[in-house]
Amino acid sequence: HISNGVTDKEYCLVYNQSWTPLSQTLDAAVSYPLVNLTSTLLCDATGIQPEVVNGKALVVMRGVCDFSQKAVVAQSLGATLLLLASNTTLITPSANVSEYSSVHIPLALMRYRDLLDAQQVFGENMQVKLYAPPQSKIDPSIVVMLLIAVVTVTLGGCWDRLDCVLEGGGDSRAEGGDLFLYSPLKVIIFVGLMSVMLLLMYFFYNILVYVIIAIFCLASASALFSCLDAVMDVIGCGTVSFSIKNCKLSLRSLVLAAVCISIAVVWGVYRNEDSWIWILQDLLGIAFCLNFMKTISLSNFKICVILLSLLLVYDVFFVFITPFFTKNGVSIMVQVALGPDAAGERLPVVMRVPRFSAWALNMCGMQFSILGFGDIIVPGLLVAYCSRFDVRINSRNKVYFISSCIAYLLGIIMTFAVMLLSGMGQPALLYLVPFTLITAAAVAGYRKEMRQFWTGTTYEVRAGMLELPVIS
């Protein structure tokens, strides 16, 4: 916190909590006049008069010598606080135990560009305070993330249900080019390809990240078009058609395509602008998840059990087991999802919502609550199957669909609760898969429909001609 008595402003700093304890509130922090000595590296006291820095905060450039050496020199000159201006990535200052004990003044790093900004705002008359506001574990962003997840899964089930109703309860869309998983072998191959892709991303991240970004732009633009086009159909927005050289075109489709492509291009260009681009990423991510759940269908509960169980093992293995094999002890899933370099490119595979309670920490870099697309899509495929099954058995109460949505809600709440209590990220499928599968199985068992629910309509997918019996 920098002030000149009239104006004040806050900047980001990085410090070592075990080395430099700071006040948690601004009012409790001590104010010091700041002396700018960025013309020196302060590896020794040569050319510096003690009376200039005595009892004051001192800012010097980072580099050449260790943090502790600079701190010892500043302390010997009588400085009460040391700031190191850095032109590179900020890192937590560290030293060995003996050096910790010899330094008794606060030490922190700040960006050199922030110091230049402060000089333009305040001039040379600057008073500084260092404080570290506590970060709340429970943040309203979790509620927003929960709503995004539950609404997306519910809409995916409703969309699939609408398709099924329009097609008379059958699965004719399986013949229209959509991927219909009805073979356990296909499921195993599908999960195997996911595992191979994750490993390739881990070893060749710097190359493949741009391929994934390009694919996401194309896929999300197409998905957004599909979603908006469906909304237009529901609200009854008519189309105006015209022909060019015997090619019939729809004005509505052209406008929607232009809008969707523009949104995807804007996201691609400004994807690293954390302050606002997360809105577009979440919008495109919701459309991507909805279109994925519409495109890939599970033919029966047996396939649901196989797929969700394999993906549960996949999620747990790559989150909890792989840290034992990586050099830095960080799971492969985390490194791929967040990127090996926090300042570099990130994969667009998560929903992101800024942490509202971390407003002070956001100056050092936006703090986000995140949820992977897979944690929405995978249970969403089961919810979509339950929704279709309700139509096939003419269930007026939509008992399978509603119960699976409630199970997903409880599972995602459990995920967030365990995350908050443990203080670490969780593989969400570890909780979502048991909640949804057990609930669906319990409903089918209670209604004595497990046989139909388990076998589904695999024979109809392959034949494509038989009419489903209506079961009361």
DSSP for 239-293, please give it.
--EEEETTEEEEHHHHHHHHHHHHHHHHHHHSTT-TTTHHHHHHHHHHHHHHHHH
Q: What is the pLDDT of residue 99?
A: 65
Domain boundary among 129, 153, 181: 129
Q: Across the 472 residues of the chain, what is the mean pLDDT of every consecutive 10-residue run?
A: 87 81 85 87 82 87 84 86 85 69 83 89 87 80 94 89 57 48 86 94 91 95 93 75 63 90 96 90 96 89 95 93 84 81 76 78 75 94 93 88 96 93 86 96 94 71 40 38
- Domain membership flag for residue 383: yes
Q: Are residues 15 and 114 in the same domain?
A: yes
Question: What Cα–Cα distance (Å) separates residue 298 from each residue in 15, 175, 183, 228?
Answer: 51, 14, 9, 24
Residue 12 neighbours by CB under 8 Å, 6+ apart = 90, 110, 111, 114, 363, 364, 365
For residues 216 and 212, give the distance between their C-alpha atoms in angstroms, rounded to a whole number.
6
The answer to whether residues 171 and 314 belong to one domain is: yes
Total tally of structural domains belonging to the chain: 2
Q: Does one domain contain both 74 and 145? A: no
Flag whether 347 is in a domain: yes
DSSP sequence for 375-403:
HHHHHHHHHHHHHHHHHHTT-TT-HHHHH
179 in the same domain as 95: no
Whole-prediction pTM value? 0.78
Instruction: Clarify whether residues 163 and 302 are in a common domain.
Output: yes
Per-residue confidence (pLDDT) for residue 471, from 0 to 100: 40
Question: Residue 438 belongs to what domain range?
Answer: 140-210+292-464
Chain centroid to Cα 408, Å, comes to 19
Residue 215 lies in a domain: no
Could you say which of 98, 129, 160 is where a domain stops? 129
247 is a domain residue: no
Within a domain: 222: no
Q: Are residues 322 and 413 in the same domain?
A: yes
pLDDT at 63: 83
Residue 465 is predicted with a pLDDT of 36
Tokens of residue 232, six digits? 């237009």
Do 422 and 349 share a structural domain? yes
Single residue among 129, 153, 170 that ends a domain in this structure: 129
Neighbouring C-alpha atoms within 13 Å toward the C-beta of 224? 23
Question: What's residue 302's pLDDT?
Answer: 93
CATH number of 28's domain = 3.50.30.30
Q: Is residue 235 part of a domain?
A: no
In a domain, 229, yes or no: no
In this structure, are 114 and 157 located in the same domain? no
Q: Is 227 part of a structural domain of the chain?
A: no
Integer CA distances (angstroms), 310 to 51, 316, 423, in order: 69, 10, 26
Please identify every residue annotated as catalytic.
315, 375
**Statement to judge: residues 193 and 52 lie in one domain:** no
110 and 144 co-located in one domain:
no
**Same domain for 297 and 163:** yes
- Bridge partners, residue 82, by sequence: 58, 107
Verify that 48 and 20 share a domain, yes or no.
yes
Tokens 């009854």 map to which residue? Answer: 236
- Compute the distance between CA of residue 54 and CA of residue 454 in angstroms, rounded to an integer: 79
